[in-house]
Structure 1
Amino acid sequence: MRGVLLQLLALLIFVAMDTSIKWMTGGFPPAQVIWARFLFSFAAVALFFRLWLGRLPWRSRAPGLQALRSLTLLGCSLLFATALSRIPLADATAVGFASPLLTIALAALVLKEPVGARRWLGVGIGFAGVMVALRPPFLTGFVPDWGYLLPLGTALGFAWYQILTRRLAALDDARVTIFHTGLAATLAASLLQPFVFAPPTAGQWALLAGVGLLGAVGHGLLVMAYARAPASLLAPLSYSQLVWATLAGVLVFGERPDGWTLLGALVIALGGVLATLPQRGRPG
């Protein structure tokens, strides 16, 4: 039960972070908002390790892979922030739920993990839901905004991020990977700032810092949740994030999801639950 509650709280915090990012992209370039998200999140993680361990766990056996993983997460965040500046929060969240399905497919193709027929069926159903949420012209009769493709890119990038995380789990201590998560991303995003930076006010600096702190706390709670409950129980709970995203969109931005979004999200969730639930007796 503690793991479940921590997972639900983490998802709620992630929605709060996404809502804050969408709000801030109304006045700042997405690249600046994401830079602040990584900068303040990395600072919080570094301070935590310094106080807890008395040192920073930066030595890695695979620094190149750590940097690639961090930069992959930066790319995902930039795509998603740009999407949030163009399309409703619930729509971006729904399309982004393709990530767990893509992770299963990549795990089978790249890591050679066994994936049974039931999980492949779940992946297929989930991608059908993504097509519905994307509102293709042959279903809806109109061409959707190109911003709807960005969360799909985010999902693909995050699936690759998950694969890199699994590979690094066999090479580095978890604390090293947590520390490196924001290191390369912060440095790379900082290089973009001379081209996009818009001076914030003191209050806006506080909001930008809050985005980073929400990210750090959310990921910390997620780690704690998976330490207390099995992944097979926690993974399907991720789809509750769409409920919070829909409520946030309505209450903060006045966005009301249409039938395509709700139907697509329902089909994606059905496929995701089918793909992530364990099968008794054999894997997948």
Structure 2
Amino acid sequence: MSRVLQGVLLQLAALAFFVTMDALLKVLVASHPVPQLMFVRFCFHVLLVAVAVRLITGGLPFRSRAPVLQTLRSLSLAAANAALSVALIHIPLADATAVSFAAPVLTVALAALWLGESVSPRRWVGVALGLAGVMVALRPPFLTGEPLHWAMLLPLVTAAMNTVYQLLTRRLSAIDDPRTTFLHTGIAAAAVTGLAQPFVWQPVAAWDWPLFAALGLLGGLGHCLLVLAFARAPASVLAPMSYTQLVWAGLAGVLVFGDWPDGWTLLGAAIIAAGGILVAVPGRRSGAGQAGDPAS
């Protein structure tokens, strides 16, 4: 199995954990403050990841060669989660997920500009198509004739922060041991959200603690797999794989919350997926020298 294929499979597994975590988060935001959920989630994340790394590898390689980048990566994840958590209070899971899929589109574009990864003209067309699909999923007034719900803009914040997070993950994969990045993922996020707890903390029922722990477990496993994926394949190849999350988010919305995606969400998701496929499918290689080019 090639390293790029390994990266794709790890990315798909990570997305399954993320969809499950988002569905659980939507359940919990109905009765708990968002900062409290984020703090508990990241605390469990740090604890579970540290225990897993120690048991599996026999060490805790905490020291980073790029601590500022690690901190920014963790804070970008916290910002993405905060925006999505607030959005899920007001809009269905499938809608929030569809709009947040500006992130893979932005990741492909910025991977070319920031990381110097090669992106072919065909993939740029896929990027443009994906952005058009995001616009449809947003239901702008000029399409629907109805006012845009303000919460639909929050997943765009999630998309921007996820783009920063993914690109920093890719950059750090060449600087730090993946275990170091695992350990740092939730630390800055837990520290920052911890500052809000004296003002927002509410008593937690005994039966909610396992759900809080599950948030940390799902997030920790998902992000560990994501780090491994980005260590094996370019961001411009992995980002479009995220479109499969649209399917699972739609199913979760129907099965767990009874929220059926409307026509605009389905149309936008279909356009986004078409753009993702256009970006993801490799082109023909004209020579042996291009065989390793993931952006052909």
TM-score by length of 2: 0.88
Question: Which residue is equivalent to 1:247?
Answer: 251
Q: CA deviation at 1:237?
A: 4.4
Q: CA deviation at 1:234?
A: 6.4
- Does 1:150 find its partner at 2:154? yes
- Does 1:76 find its partner at 2:110? no
- Does 1:203 find its partner at 2:207? yes
Alignment of 1:93-242 (within 5 A): 93-222=97-226, 236-242=240-246
Distance 1:254 1:34, change over 3 A: same
Task: Give unmatched runs, 5+ long, in structure 2.
Answer: none
Stretch of structure 1 that moved more, 2-11 or 196-205: 2-11
Alpha-carbon distance in structure 1 between the residues aligned to 2:149 and 2:222 = 30
- Asked if the contact 1:232–1:277 (Cα under 8 Å) also holds between the matched residues in 2, the reply is no
Distance 1:232 1:166, change over 3 A: closer
User: C-alpha offsets along residues 112-157 of structure 1, whole Å, 9 cap, x if unaligned?
Assistant: 3332211111111000000000000000001121111111111111
Of 38, 41, 45, 2:45 maps to 41
Partner amino acid, structure 2, of 1:259? G
User: Percent of pairs identical after alignment?
Assistant: 58
User: C-alpha offsets along residues 67-105 of structure 1, whole Å, 9 cap, x if unaligned?
Assistant: 111111111111111111111000011111111110111
Alpha-carbon distance in structure 2 between the residues aligned to 1:70 and 1:191 = 15
Distance 1:233 1:116, change over 3 A: closer
Distance 1:173 1:102, change over 3 A: same
Stretch of structure 1 that moved more, 173-182 or 3-12: 3-12
Alpha-carbon distance in structure 1 between the residues aligned to 2:91 and 2:20 = 17
- Asked if the contact 2:126–2:274 (Cα under 8 Å) also holds between the matched residues in 1, the reply is yes
Task: Give unmatched runs, 5+ long, in structure 1.
Answer: none
Question: Which residue is equivalent to 1:29?
Answer: 33
- Asked if the contact 1:79–1:154 (Cα under 8 Å) also holds between the matched residues in 2, the reply is yes
- Asked if the contact 2:130–2:271 (Cα under 8 Å) also holds between the matched residues in 1, the reply is yes
Of 13, 16, 20, 2:20 maps to 16
Distance 1:235 1:68, change over 3 A: closer
Alpha-carbon distance in structure 1 between the residues aligned to 2:94 and 2:28 = 17
Q: Secondary structure at the match of 2:31?
A: coil
Stretch of structure 1 that moved more, 270-279 or 78-87: 270-279
Distance 1:155 1:234, change over 3 A: closer
Of 260, 263, 267, 1:259 maps to 263
Q: CA deviation at 1:210?
A: 1.1
Alignment RMSD, CA only?
2.4
User: C-alpha offsets along residues 185-216 of structure 1, whole Å, 9 cap, x if unaligned?
Assistant: 11111111112111111111221111111112
Of 83, 89, 92, 1:85 maps to 89
Stretch of structure 1 that moved more, 143-152 or 1-10: 1-10
Alpha-carbon distance in structure 1 between the residues aligned to 2:241 and 2:118 = 23
Alpha-carbon distance in structure 2 between the residues aligned to 1:67 and 1:223 = 15
Q: Secondary structure at the match of 2:244?
A: helix
Question: Which residue is equivalent to 2:71?
Answer: 67
Alpha-carbon distance in structure 2 between the residues aligned to 1:120 and 1:232 = 11
Distance 1:131 1:233, change over 3 A: closer
Partner amino acid, structure 2, of 1:280? R
Stretch of structure 1 that moved more, 213-222 or 33-42: 213-222
Alpha-carbon distance in structure 1 between the residues aligned to 2:233 and 2:113 = 27
Q: CA deviation at 1:10?
A: 3.5
Stretch of structure 1 that moved more, 34-43 or 230-239: 230-239
Alpha-carbon distance in structure 1 between the residues aligned to 2:120 and 2:156 = 24
- Asked if the contact 2:105–2:240 (Cα under 8 Å) also holds between the matched residues in 1, the reply is no
Alpha-carbon distance in structure 2 between the residues aligned to 1:99 and 1:57 = 30
TM-score by length of 1: 0.91
